Amino acid sequence: MSDTPFGFGLPPEEPENGDEGKKKDPAGGGQGSGNPFGANPFGFGGLPGMGGPGGADNPFAAMFGSLNPNDLGAAFQQLGQMLSYEGGPVNWDMAKQIARQVVAQGTADGTKDASVGPAEKSAVEEAVRLADLWLDGVTSLPSGASTAVAWSRAEWVEATLPAWQQLVDPVAERVGAAMGDVLPEEMQAMAGPLIGMMRSMGGAMFGQQIGQAVGALAGEVVGSTDVGLPLGPAGRAALLPLNVEAFGKDLGVPSDEVRLYLALREAAHQRLFAHVPWLRAHLFGAVEGYARGIKVDTSKLEEAVGQLDPTHPEQLQEALQQGMFQPEDTPEQKAALARLETALALVEGWVDAVVHEAAKSRLTSADALRETLRRRRASGGPAEQTFATLIGLELRPRRLRDAARLWASLTDARGVDGRDGLWEHPDMLPTATDLDDPDGFVHREHLDFSELDKMLGEAAKGDGGKGDAEDGDDKA
């Protein structure tokens, strides 16, 4: 595992020269500054439009200390929205607003979001149509996309927010509950108003963090399935023309081939998610399983709780930054992460295998594009960023290669129908152990279920006859 959920990580080392050293790092101890999910959401960082860096010792000083008078009205309005929030664990209205702000700012390469024109829409529709035709010959799963759409980055944000909510809410709710559960009753009674305020601000902070993450991802993803999950509406294959163009830049590959190859991947994902009815629940359930395992080390709390004054919010903020509420690894979490990593590897490996089979004889750049995507994953693509920061899962590129090799070997050994038939039930799929030994799984002897059914039927008849005889003896 890499990062802990939502930036909850180890506390920073104390600087040798006290407060002066702290000021040198405006990030305030959050880890992974290049990470779109940012730092600790309860670290009271600077908020959008508030003009100051986050992570100062006093959260309210961080909010208001560097404001000019013209910004005060907006700052107080935003603070009021934070404190008045009474919804779920994440303020999704704020998340949506911030995600759109991030999208509007553009990406590091200077590209700005723009509405999709008719020509781009037509090109995406044609690419998905052709991709589905090619996939018909390499998989027994029928088309899963009834519609092909071209999205702007802002449209991707709008379309995927419901899925993000389903993913994030269980984790955020459990983090918040774990923090509240470990407070002694007398502390809860004393800090009642403060806890309520913290919940409101926590929802806003989570909303800020998720909004920044989703907005950043919108500048990188090329479709609706880049992270290996069905983020968009069912049956809708989507590409983002602006990001597809950026992906293909400097590759020396014709833009039509880049678009078609990415359309193959999007359409292949759609087939799996549409025709493997248990898959979505299995993937999302693994994230929820991780959330249920979140616990807090109470020993840290016991050491520090006596020193907290509920009337001083900055003390609680400092405790949060110092790791008092840092979730600890549990067996439940590790098991959930293992299930999720294996499932994601199998999904991505299957897509990689069938897309390569469909493209290798038709696209001269198929091998180059395949390798580009693998390098992207190895260096931390959208999927890797998402799962590393959401639940601390570090997707291993080797796992994806092992899965792709396993699916390709299954095609050779059992044919397309035999390979795709494994998706009928999760118990039929390769396990994490099988990914360590793909050849062993591929060439494992098949059970003769017809012979087993015959044996069970004969046993049932034998028991029935015996039971009838015993009944006759009793009556006699």
If asked whether residues 390 and 475 sit together in one domain, one would say no
Q: What is the rounded average pLDDT of the residues 35-56? A: 36
Is pLDDT larger for residue 81 or for residue 340?
Answer: 340
156-175 confidence digits (pLDDT tens): 999 999 999 998 888 888 77
The confidence score (pLDDT) of residue 97 equals 92
- What total of structural domains would you count in the chain? 2
- Residue 239 CA to residue 151 CA, distance in Å, equals 6
HSE-up (13 A, CA, CB side) for residue 265: 24
Neighbours of 379 (CB within 10 A): 9
What's the mean pLDDT when you consider all of the chain?
A: 76
277-302 confidence digits (pLDDT tens): 999 999 998 888 887 777 766 566 55
pLDDT at 46 over 90: no
**66: enclosing H helix or E strand:** none
In a domain, 5, yes or no: no
Name the band, by pLDDT with cuts 50, 70 and 90, for residue 369: very high
If asked whether residues 367 and 464 sit together in one domain, one would say no
Which of 55-64, 132-141, 152-161 shows the lowest per-residue confidence on average (mean pLDDT)? 55-64
pLDDT at 459 over 80: no
66-125 confidence digits (pLDDT tens): 455 555 565 555 555 555 556 678 889 989 999 999 999 999 888 999 999 999 999 999
Which two structure tokens, joined as six digits, stand for 175?
């983090």
Whether the Cβ atoms of residue 346 and residue 352 lie closer than 8 Å to each other: no
373-394 confidence digits (pLDDT tens): 999 888 887 777 777 766 666 7
The confidence score (pLDDT) of residue 83 equals 55
In a domain, 155, yes or no: yes
If asked whether residues 384 and 473 sit together in one domain, one would say no
The confidence score (pLDDT) of residue 79 equals 55
pLDDT at 30 over 60: no
pLDDT at 334 over 90: no
356-367 confidence digits (pLDDT tens): 999 999 999 999
Question: What range does the domain containing 277 cover?
Answer: 95-305+322-395
In a domain, 350, yes or no: yes
If asked whether residues 387 and 471 sit together in one domain, one would say no
If asked whether residues 105 and 178 sit together in one domain, one would say yes
Name the band, by pLDDT with cuts 50, 70 and 90, for residue 433: very high
C-alpha 348 chain-centroid distance: 14
Name the band, by pLDDT with cuts 50, 70 and 90, for residue 48: very low
The pTM for the full model equals 0.74
Q: What is the rounded average pLDDT of the residues 416-422? A: 96
CA distance readout (Å), 454 to 175, 448, 467 = 52, 10, 20
C-alpha 15 chain-centroid distance: 34
- Identify the sign of the CA torsion 8, 14, 15, 18: positive
If asked whether residues 452 and 338 sit together in one domain, one would say no
- Residue 273 CA to residue 144 CA, distance in Å, equals 7
Q: What angle do CA 263, 269, 275 make, to 5 degrees?
A: 130
In a domain, 21, yes or no: no
Query: Across-strand partners of 236?
Result: 147
Strand extents, DSSP E, 222-369:
236-239, 295-296, 327-328
Is pLDDT larger for residue 470 or for residue 440?
Answer: 440
If asked whether residues 153 and 242 sit together in one domain, one would say yes
If asked whether residues 250 and 152 sit together in one domain, one would say yes
Q: What is the rounded average pLDDT of the residues 412-437? A: 94
The confidence score (pLDDT) of residue 187 equals 59
Q: Does residue 335 sit in helix, strand or coil? A: helix
CA distance readout (Å), 182 to 188, 192, 445 = 10, 14, 51
Q: What is the rounded average pLDDT of the residues 211-221? A: 93
Please enumerate, as own/partner, the contacts of 14-22 that have beta carbons within 8 Å and a separation of 24 or more: 19/57, 22/57
The confidence score (pLDDT) of residue 357 equals 97
In a domain, 3, yes or no: no
Q: What is the rounded average pLDDT of the residues 205-210? A: 85
